[in-house]
């Protein structure tokens, strides 16, 4: 029996990186997993295959998190395929980093659409299902950058700070229906994406972190597991920093 036995989770943007780690951890803990990807059809199929070993139901869906129609269609399809949904992890996100001086309106708007509108879209889409069953856990992946800001990431920081305000508001609105909504703010997480960076630069980042290492997708996934499970039944409207002590 895992911590998520009998529960169905939707995880957005799970073909790689942190989302993939969350999908793996959830399946290992007995959850049925419905995950989304945008363009990586092959990676999505590979993950669907890989997760079969844990013996729960796993299905990948092609869905653009920045589109409301896609979010609505996704939730309807998952409810039909799995018979319900209990957990939503809004993980899909992008960066378009540059200094404000060079940042175009398009760079700003696209990051807001993918990172922030996506959280609104999925929460709206799943709300009725959660209200009917009088339970649900929503976990939004923010960032330490949304808490403290970062030069060269004004668009990304705005989207991630927006997620925090949204999370707290939803927690206040839906708490009386036993629907919980929390955010996770990861620090520097080492994924396929950071593996291509210069090793010296990465080492300097690690040295600046109190725990002296970058985080792993699994570190973030374990925090998600806690917030998704009944172990966190009395926790809502919170931001959990998973950052090796970067924020104190």
Chain residues that interact with ligand NAD, rule: CB under 6 A? 12-13, 15-19, 36-38, 40, 64-66, 91-94, 114, 141, 143, 186, 188-189, 191, 193
Q: Give 112 or 131: the residue with its C-beta nearer to ligand NAD.
A: 112
Q: The tokens of 4 are what?
A: 């998520």
Shorter beta-carbon distance to ligand NAD: residue 219 or 232: 219
Burial 108-129 (b: 16+ CB within 10 A, else e): bebbbbbbbbbbbbbbebbbeb
Catalytic residue among 54, 61, 156, 234: 156
Task: Give yes or no for a contact between 140 and 170, defined as CB atoms under 8 angstroms apart.
Answer: no
Angle between helices 105-112 and 154-174 (to 10 degrees): 30
The verdict on whether 156 is a catalytic residue reads yes
Q: Are 73 and 65 in contact (CB under 8 A)?
A: no
Of 23 and 174, the one with the shorter C-beta distance to ligand NAD is 23
Closer residue to ligand NAD, CB minimum distance, 36 or 176 = 36
Catalogue the active-site residues: 156
């Amino acid at each position: 029996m895992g911590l998520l036995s009998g529960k169905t989770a939707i995880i957005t943007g799970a073909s790689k990186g942190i989302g993939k780690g969350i999908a793996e951890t959830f399946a290992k803990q007995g959850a049925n997993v419905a995950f989304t990807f945008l363009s990586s059809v092959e990676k999505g199929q590979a993950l669907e295959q890989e997760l079969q070993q844990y013996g729960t139901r796993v299905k990948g869906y092609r869905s653009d998190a920045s589109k409301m129609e896609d979010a609505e269609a996704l939730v309807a399809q998952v409810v039909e395929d799995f018979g319900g949904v209990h957990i939503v992890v809004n993980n899909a996100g992008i960066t378009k980093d540059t200094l404000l001086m060079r940042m175009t309106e398009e760079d700003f708007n696209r990051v807001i659409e993918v990172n922030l509108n996506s959280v609104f879209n999925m929460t709206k889409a799943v709300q009725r299902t959660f209200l009917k069953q009088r339970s649900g856990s929503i976990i939004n992946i923010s960032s330490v950058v949304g808490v403290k800001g970062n030069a060269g990431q004004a668009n990304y920081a705005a989207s991630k700070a927006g997620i925090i305000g949204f999370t707290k508001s939803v927690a206040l609105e839906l708490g009386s229906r036993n629907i919980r909504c929390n955010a996770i703010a990861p620090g520097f997480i080492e994924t396929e994406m950071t593996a291509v960076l210069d090793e010296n630069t990465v080492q300097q980042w690690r040295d600046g972190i109190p725990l002296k290492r970058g985080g792993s997708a699994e570190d973030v996934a374990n925090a998600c597991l806690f917030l998704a499970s009944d172990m966190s039944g009395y926790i809502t409207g919170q931001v959990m920093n998973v950052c090796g002590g970067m924020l104190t």
